[in-house]
């Protein structure tokens, strides 16, 4: 099972996955599209995948179409909120220090964010993996 967190901020929905743990699923473009689809998946405007550690944070950001894009300030606001709530960092300042930008502390303190937790079943995870394999097969 995979746990996905859905955050809503300023009318946008963000899905956050933690792919930093051993054995965790790291979706590719097709998997992201399925996950972000509002009819077949969970639904989101952005998909954030945390792939780092507290000491070396790393973030992948995707559009609902599965396109990897550069993180925006809003993406970082959601990431900081997630990392603090998931206790990956003791406080937002640790993340700000790791990323080297004190604006993250302000982003965390000032953001009005709501959160919902989704538990993705093994069956749906299999669909995500299959979508990624099929996309790779078609490209290759």
Q: What is the pLDDT of residues 14-70, one digit of tens each?
A: 999 988 877 788 889 999 999 999 999 889 999 999 887 766 777 899 999 999 999
pLDDT of residue 105: 54
- Region for residue 138 given its phi and psi (left: phi exceeds 0; alpha: psi -120 to 50; beta: otherwise): alpha
State whether the Cα torsion 82-13-69-3 is positive or negative.
positive
By CB atoms closer than 10 A (0-12, 13-18, 19+), residue 110 is: exposed
Q: State how far Cα 44 lies from the chain centre.
A: 10
pLDDT of residue 26: 85
By CB atoms closer than 10 A (0-12, 13-18, 19+), residue 139 is: exposed
**CATH fold for domain 2-139:** Diaminopimelate Epimerase; Chain A, domain 1 (3.10.310)
Please, which pLDDT band fits residue 103 given cuts at 50, 70 and 90? low
Where do the structural domains in the chain lie, given as residue ranges? 2-139
Gap between the Cα atoms of 51 and 32, Å rounded:
15
pLDDT of residue 1: 76
pLDDT of residue 79: 84
The pTM of this model reads 0.74
> Which of the two residues, 70 and 103, has the higher pLDDT score?
70
pLDDT of residue 83: 80
């Amino acid at each position: 099972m995979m746990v996905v967190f859905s955050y809503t901020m300023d009318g946008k929905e963000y899905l956050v996955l933690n792919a930093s743990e051993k054995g965790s699923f790291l979706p590719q473009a097709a998997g992201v599209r399925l996950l972000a689809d509002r009819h077949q998946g969970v639904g989101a405007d952005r998909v954030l995948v945390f792939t780092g550690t507290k000491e070396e944070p790393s973030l992948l950001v995707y559009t609902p179409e599965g396109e990897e894009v550069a993180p925006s300030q809003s993406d970082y606001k959601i990431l900081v909120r997630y990392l603090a709530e998931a206790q990956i960092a003791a406080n937002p300042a640790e993340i700000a220090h790791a990323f080297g930008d004190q604006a993250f502390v302000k982003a965390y303190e000032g953001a009005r964010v709501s959160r919902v937790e989704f538990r993705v079943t093994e069956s749906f995870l299999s669909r995500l993996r299959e979508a990624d394999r099929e996309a790779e097969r078609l490209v290759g």
